[in-house]
Structure 1
Amino acid sequence: MPELTSEDISSLIRGYFKDAVSQSIELAYILPRDHLYDQAGEIGSLKERMQELEALLARRSWPASVQSEAHALLGTIIPEKLAPASERFQQLCQGILRADHENARILAAMLAGKYHEVAPQDPIFAGILVNDPPPVPGDDTVAPAEQTLASVATLFHAYKVKHDWVAKTAADANRVLSLAKSIIGEKKPFKTLGIDDVKAVRDAIASLPPNYMKVAANKGISPKDAIKANAGGPTLALKTQDKYYTMFRQLLIWAHHEGYIDKVPGEGVRLAGSAKVDATGKRKPYSREQLQVIFASPLYKGNLSETTRHKPGALLIRDGKFWVPLIALYSGMRMGEIVQLLVTDIKTQDGIAYFDVSKSESDDKTLKTRSSERKVPVHKVLLDLGLLEHAHGSGRMFPDIKKGEDGYFSHNFSKWWGRYTRQIKVSTQNTAFHSFRHSFKDALQAVEAPEYISKALMGHSDKDVHAGYGLGPTLSSMKKTIDKVAYGIELIIAEIADDG
């Protein structure tokens, strides 16, 4: 095998960069011409990609996909593979990441209209011109670019982020779309997608190892390699498979509605066991016995210490862990809505205290849907327990609840609640924190609350034609209804040392 020089590797890297930039020039021409194009979202994604690449370069970490690309490039000039630990192979892997980083920066500049910033800034690409002109608008001799799986998936994701999804849903969908592109091929013309492609994605989702879509250690490992290595091993939970497959189906349905494809392919293709999802995965309300155990546990009767809430002791800490379950039980609010509350989110109108459930990007507050924005009167039980006295000062209502690794305040609290309910032996397969919301809904039905008031309290959209008229139920009518909610449990909070 001829000895490779540094110049040989540099030539491969520069050629790889030229091809990548050429594709970006085409993309910068196509995207803005689409009515669903989200400029800010695209540029934001490119900047996030640049940060990921910078982290890999700083650690000198070459994902499997980069190493595969390096072997492919080397295959154009030498017949044998280089050892991954060799100096030349390492140089090539680093160069590929540098090319990807520079290409992402240039595409972001083009999408922002900053063409004065498109000249390469990385020294390894000095002298390469980025000036291939796009097709002239209206030139009939140039065929319009064909929409690929990658381009339609990008448009779909941008549209849903702008109109429907919260950040967590968008992140999940991004992983699903990346999986689909890997399995089907991102350059495949979208209008040619067929039933076999749908089956391939379904089967891949059903064969992936647990946590593949989330574990950082899997970055750079292709889905096909992960599935092959996991042959006969454990797979994603059925409920998770159903969620991911449904997201992929949403892409196909949206693309059909938007005219990118004539019909939805594989409409009859189902996930094996999907009929069991509702039966096994649906959360149930906490029973009265479970609620009694929860609210007679050391968390409310006195515990040993801040970190040992499940053991009896002489300490009562009225912090987020104390209040959040109570608020959930007597308001029906979601965990995410409660843990992100600000002190200023408890307001008063006409003498009625209420939770102002709203979103605010500046305060890291999100909502599941548009209908989630609402006013929920504070239940008399919460008032009697002193919630308004807790809501003083400024800032977050529960500063002890910190953001999790996914950027949400509910992340860590959810894990803590799972541990606590197991420690007090109240946890079951079909109950979780969301069971409080189911319990609240059942309690509303028990007091024969009008449906329009129940929907207003729980943040459910009302699609009845009459719902479009008027301002909805008054705060006073909702207050009268919510104060009737009861569970038949003994709720006596210990009057001992309060360290909250």
Structure 2
Amino acid sequence: MPIVSEATLRERARTFFQAELTKSLEVAFLYPTDRTFDKDVEVSWLISRTADLRASLASQSFSADIKVDAAELLDSSNPNYAAPISDQMRYACNLILRAKIENSRILKAQLEGDYQSTGATDPWYAGLTATGLPPLPGEKSEPVSSPTLGEITDKFVASKIKHDWAAKTAADVKRVIKLACALIGDQKPMSSVNTDDVKNFRDALAALPPNYMKLALKKGTSPQEAIESNSGGACLSLKTQDKYFTMFRQIFIWAAAEEHIDKVPGANIKVAGIKTVIDGEQREPYSEAQLTKLVHSPLYSGHQSEKCRYKPGKLLRRDGYFWVPLIALHSGLRMGEILQLRKSDLKQENGIWFFDVNKAEDKKLKTHSSKRKVPVHQALIELGLLDQMHSVPPASRLFPEIKKGSDGYYSHNFSKWWGRFARHMGFASPKTAFHSLRHNFIQALREAGQLEYVNKALAGHADKSVHAQYGSAVPLTILKAAIDTVDFKLNFSHLQP
């Protein structure tokens, strides 16, 4: 007998149950109008039938008719059922028995006019209803067209790309959709996607190897193959699982809002263990020892060549690779915010130089609160940043040598370079990354005793306090005074121009 997954069996059993409900609805609607129909006899038989089915379920003894229906769930055309019965056959028999018990109870309630008791209460079949009355003899049933998962996801992506998403977000969600269609089936009617499908998607995320979403789908490896070959191996981090699961859920939230489906399936399903992420997977600031390794590395003391900045040499290029880490450390700007800066974004107001972080053509912001003015730290001025920037053409990016990656973002290639460089220099660790420099900056602000609303203004974090709703933005003079208190007790004398 071929192996069929439990999820597939449950889905087939739900289809079987709906078909049984439809037949019962015909009995409840049409039979009472037949003068030869005796309702009391039918109700009595249903009570006896339900009791027999429950006894069979309790004793796990299955009659031939139950096995026949179970074999259909298993795609088995073999009339000679294996003895002793297999675990899979036993599971299918349980599905059939519970469907028949529930259907008998509902039909009894319908015949007695108790329609308040006709909702499916068995957890395996909750929420299912009859698909409508079967056609009368001689009538032709008109098939009801239901949009498939693949059709709905195409509409979802098109709508979000037009109105909401940046290119990187679109690429991430498309990978999630491709995985969802591989696990659930892109031809499955959207209205039939249920809680079990949502659970299976969540559980698959917990078992997939790292980078599967980016690599394996392109190579044609199915999720099931990847999970089987990864038994006991490394898996996606909880944060990544939660990120992808949230993207997956957005499909159904959108579909419900657009009235393609009645409700969001598995609305209360969550990634198991996500609450433990707060302490376990957060990025940490670089330690003083790690920062010392950075500022005294060949990147700042002299390197072999432009492409080999981790080996000592006589070349010292003061380009984007030189400045971007220093700016991040002394301003808290995100990698993407720095790399997309233009010459025109380096401005002066009342004698204060600042980075104008804004959204424009070919420039993106993470959130609305990311738009801000961040004064240039005095340490960067003393290291010659402003003098060097005077030579940059007005319409140019500050660091034109750092090109866009395949995802359309300047951070793509630089992030990979930074990871390799950190490993070569010996300051890489599991809980640190380039973003750790931003953590260093915010931590330094707090250690300097700066007020939290000032810290939020510099970091581009939304201030949702009541006081923040009054008045205008934090004055540049206050931001400049605050940012210049940031001191990492590092020796930058060798970096003087």
Give the TM-score of the pair, scaled to structure 2: 0.64
Native 8 Å contact 2:383 2:496 kept in 1: no
After TM superposition, the structure 1 = structure 2 runs for residues 60-459 of structure 1, keeping only pairs within 5 Å, are 146=146, 148-162=148-162, 164-215=164-215, 218=218, 220-227=220-227, 230=230, 234-256=234-256, 261=261, 263-361=263-361, 364-391=362-389, 392-394=391-393, 395-459=396-460
Distance in 2 between residues matched to 1:444 and 1:196, nearest whole Å:
48
Q: Determine what percentage of the aligned residue pairs are the same residue.
A: 54
Please tell me the residue identity of whatever aligns with 1:393: V
Q: Give how far 1:354 is off.
A: 0.9
Native 8 Å contact 2:359 2:371 kept in 1: yes
Please tell me the residue identity of whatever aligns with 2:383: L
Distance in 2 between residues matched to 1:281 and 1:260, nearest whole Å:
37
1:339-390 Cα distance to aligned partner (Å, 9 max, x none) = 12222211112221111112333xx322222221221111111111111112
Q: Give how far 1:154 is off.
A: 3.9
Please list every run of 5 or more consecutive structure 2 residues that lacks an aligned counterpart in the other structure: 1-141
Q: CA RMSD in A?
A: 2.8
Question: Residues 495 and 477 (structure 1 numbering): CA distance in 2 closer, same or farther, change over 3 Å?
Answer: closer
Stretch moving more, 460-469 or 219-228:
219-228
Q: Give how far 1:285 is off.
A: 0.7
Distance in 2 between residues matched to 1:194 and 1:465, nearest whole Å:
42
Task: Give the match's secondary structure for 1:310.
Answer: coil
Distance in 1 between residues matched to 2:249 and 2:495, nearest whole Å:
51
Stretch moving more, 190-199 or 375-384:
190-199
Distance in 1 between residues matched to 2:468 and 2:148, nearest whole Å:
41
Q: Give how far 1:143 is off.
A: 11
Give the TM-score of the pair, scaled to structure 1: 0.64
Larger Cα-atom Rg: 2
Task: Give the match's secondary structure for 1:453.
Answer: helix
Please tell me the residue identity of whatever aligns with 1:403: K
Native 8 Å contact 1:447 1:484 kept in 2: yes
Distance in 2 between residues matched to 1:409 and 1:258, nearest whole Å:
35
Stretch moving more, 203-212 or 441-450:
203-212
Greater RCO between the two (CA within 8 Å, min separation 6)? 1
Question: Residues 469 and 162 (structure 1 numbering): CA distance in 2 closer, same or farther, change over 3 Å?
Answer: farther
Question: Residues 264 and 467 (structure 1 numbering): CA distance in 2 closer, same or farther, change over 3 Å?
Answer: farther
Native 8 Å contact 1:153 1:177 kept in 2: yes
Native 8 Å contact 1:377 1:475 kept in 2: yes
1:307-329 Cα distance to aligned partner (Å, 9 max, x none) = 33223333321011110000000
Question: Residues 189 and 291 (structure 1 numbering): CA distance in 2 closer, same or farther, change over 3 Å?
Answer: same
Aligned length: 353
Task: Give the match's secondary structure for 2:310.
Answer: strand
Match of residue 123 from structure 2: none
Match of residue 61 from structure 2: none
Stretch moving more, 222-231 or 306-315:
222-231
Please tell me the residue identity of whatever aligns with 2:392: G
Native 8 Å contact 2:392 2:398 kept in 1: no
Q: Give how far 1:187 is off.
A: 4.3
Q: Give how far 1:453 is off.
A: 1.9
Native 8 Å contact 2:148 2:190 kept in 1: yes
Q: Give how far 1:418 is off.
A: 1.2
Q: Give how far 1:257 is off.
A: 5.6
Please tell me the residue identity of whatever aligns with 1:348: Q
